Structure 1
Amino acid sequence: MIKELGLKKVINASGKMTILGGSTVDKEITSVMEEALSIYVEMDDLQRKSGEYIANILKCEAAYITSSASAGIALTVASLIAKDNLSAIENIFKYSRKNPNKVIIQKGHSVNYGAPIQTMINLGGGEVVEVGYSNECKKEHIETIIDEDTVALLYVKSHHAVQKNMVSLEEMSKIAKRYELPLIIDAAAEEDLRLYPKLGDVVVYSGTKAIEGPTSGLVVGKEKYIKNIRLQNKGIGRAFKIGRENVLAITKALDIYLTKKKNSKIEIKDLEEFLEKVKKIKGITGKISKDSSGREIYRVELDFGIGRCEKIKEKLKDGEIAIYTRDYLCNLGKLEIDPRPLKDGDLDIIYNRIEEIIKEIGE
């Protein structure tokens, strides 16, 4: 159907991005999806047993599979407001207006990752309370705003969030315990799946990022909270339902992720060779940079200059083969090449296209 729809070939040098479909998946995973689509199952039983299986391998109390990480945030917020009250579950927006529904988040964590995180909180009936400033937040900012209407604290562990002068995850965890409030951790793209449940009460992961599974999300944490998230299927969870094929596939993807060593086709030496080659094009400088949020991910950072970066970014996308780079620093004149989704030969295609574009637009 790719040819029938006339879809362009895409080289993904931007990372595991939702706008490009997340990740490609292992053949072991697609075979599980194919098997699942040929049978019927009791969905409640599948969700319960897959959750138990995942909780066991992640060594946490409970787990629940959702349609996406965003859905996981919305369902978590709704469950903290409604708890196990069926009337509240079925009428979450009416109920939340008259009952505690405030979710506290640091202003530097109030991000847009393709959609605003505030929207996901609102979808669950939550009222967003931003604290601190975009360049600074202290624990006092958080503690002085907590009141009887607060249902949770939310921490965003992501490169999208401001990294400096924010309250750390460890400190946020202490505050949550001190005030007996649940801590939600948005760890959508994080790689250490066993670390964050030790620090938070509910942790949300994307199934398509580090795990490299199908379109899905994963919510793990304390059983007393996860059990109420399951009940949201009787409310807004109906709009976020996930098919049997993706439930089984993300369970298989987790197995593969935790037991098999992933070997990237593109190694540091390949990036260094690519960088040296590109730097020979007049007007381009660059370096190898580490992920800003501290993950062990290394990328090529190319500096084209502020005046032409935007034009180069768009021309890379508009070619016969659409090349997507990581463009968060484009306002500073820089594009990043993320090697994780690249295949053999992709770096050569990217180099040739950059060379063509520079010749076309000039230095």
Structure 2
Amino acid sequence: MTSVYEHYGLKPVINASGRMTILGVSTPGAAVVEAVNDGLSHYFEMKDLVDKTGAYIAGLLGCEDALVVSCASAGIAQSVAAVIARDDDWLLDNLHSAPLSVPHEIVLPKGHNVNFGAPVGTMVALGGGRLVEAGYANECSPAQLAAAVTASTAAILYIKSHHCVQKSHLSVAQAAAVAREHGVPLIVDAAAEEDLQAYYAAGADLVIYSGAKAIEGPTSGLVVGRQRHIAWVKRQSQGIGRAMKVGKEGILGLTRAVEEYLQQEKVSGAAMVEKMTPFIAQLNGLHGVQARVVWDSAGRDIARTEIHLDEAAIGRSTAALVQALKEGRPAIYFRGYKANEGIVEVDVRSVSAEQLHTLYLAIASLLTGEHQG
């Protein structure tokens, strides 16, 4: 029997970049696959399925309510639409067809206005909102966030991500205090975050997660929060959410994934360091290469291998090396956010020890011009 790669002529991939959308994010376990199959094999009253699974997840996480959506980006768009339209039936049908007279500005720290594969502002616009930046790219205090809130503000949006500026920015709890003081909801996009309870506990009204990243579910998203706000998001299934609907298999798959995620023992950063130590030693034996352990810039317990390439010594640019590895077979993907500085990172969470050795051999072969056995 041919593999899926052979059947469709696809290129095998070693994912050393982490749980990234461009590579299919993650590989769910057998229990999640079974739940997806259950969803595919049965019929349900979809409203009943949405409500019951949401209540079940909320019970697991200790929040008022929850909702499975198609992805985290859809969660942002639908949450924005929800806080604008609320219970208004006319707005539910006409969100984009006429100028809005209700509050529709979404305030976020300027350093959080990022592109995570698509611009945050695009998701806000899809939800009918207008983005308003608070503070500066390298600074946003509670006072600066509060100064951007007006009578036209529908919500504050906080992006908890390594993509965002980390220094001199207020915390989720501080943003929640500003939101409460001004009587507006706080939406937190925590797509890749690993703590499914902290941001709700810190005062957020809606928190959005990717179902396929840390939770390792099927392609999906999870919105948790206050009951009234989740009810507004649910209403968007008859509005913009219709174009973003999640299937029964995604709902059941993510619900099971949340169960599994809460029960499983998390792989620690220390274990990641142990896994990558032989790989780092091999890399440091190559001319023009320096490798070391670095920790996640957003504060998560994730250790990665940072590879610094001396471009003058290796005789090629970092970008060219990264591209050559992507074009190889198997294709090898790094985290390339600092490639312009001659630095790439290896995320070992989705890579086996054998694949790390394959990665080393591929780098060594490109640098020496010799096939490595």
Q: Does residue 163 of structure 2 align to residue 174 of structure 1?
A: no
1-structure distance, mates of 2:147, 2:199: 25
**Partner amino acid for 2:255?**
T
3-state SS, counterpart of residue 204 of structure 1: strand
Q: Which runs of 5+ in 1 are unaligned?
A: none
Q: Which of 314, 320, 336 pairs up with 2:323? A: 314
Match of 1:34 in 2: 37
3-state SS, counterpart of residue 54 of structure 2: helix
Q: Which of 137, 141, 150 pairs up with 1:138? A: 141
Q: What TM-score, normalized to structure 1? A: 0.96
Match of 2:57 in 1: 54
Contact 2:284 2:291 (8 Å CA) reproduced: yes
Match of 1:280 in 2: 285
- Report how far residue 272 of structure 1 moved: 1.2
Match of 1:332 in 2: 341
2-structure distance, mates of 1:118, 1:92: 17
Match of 1:251 in 2: 255
Q: Which of 167, 185, 190 pairs up with 1:187? A: 190
2-structure distance, mates of 1:293, 1:221: 23
3-state SS, counterpart of residue 345 of structure 1: helix
Q: Which of 122, 147, 151 pairs up with 2:150? A: 147
Q: Which moves more between the two structures, 127-136 or 240-249?
A: 127-136
**Partner amino acid for 1:142?**
L
Match of 1:356 in 2: 365
3-state SS, counterpart of residue 335 of structure 1: strand
Q: Which of 75, 79, 83 pairs up with 2:78? A: 75
Match of 1:43 in 2: 46
Q: Does residue 229 of structure 2 align to residue 216 of structure 1?
A: no
Contact 1:188 1:206 (8 Å CA) reproduced: yes
Q: Does residue 281 of structure 2 align to residue 270 of structure 1?
A: no
> Where has structure 1 moved over 6 Å in runs of 4 or more?
none
1-structure distance, mates of 2:290, 2:267: 28
2-structure distance, mates of 1:174, 1:95: 33
Q: Which runs of 5+ in 2 are unaligned?
A: none
2-structure distance, mates of 1:166, 1:355: 41
Match of 2:15 in 1: 12
2-structure distance, mates of 1:138, 1:231: 34
How much identity, in percent, do the aligned residues show?
42
- Report how far residue 2 of structure 1 moved: 3.1
Contact 1:201 1:221 (8 Å CA) reproduced: yes
| Number of equivalent positions | 361
**Partner amino acid for 1:275?**
I
- Report how far residue 36 of structure 1 moved: 1.6
Q: What TM-score, normalized to structure 2? A: 0.94
3-state SS, counterpart of residue 37 of structure 1: helix
**Partner amino acid for 1:48?**
D
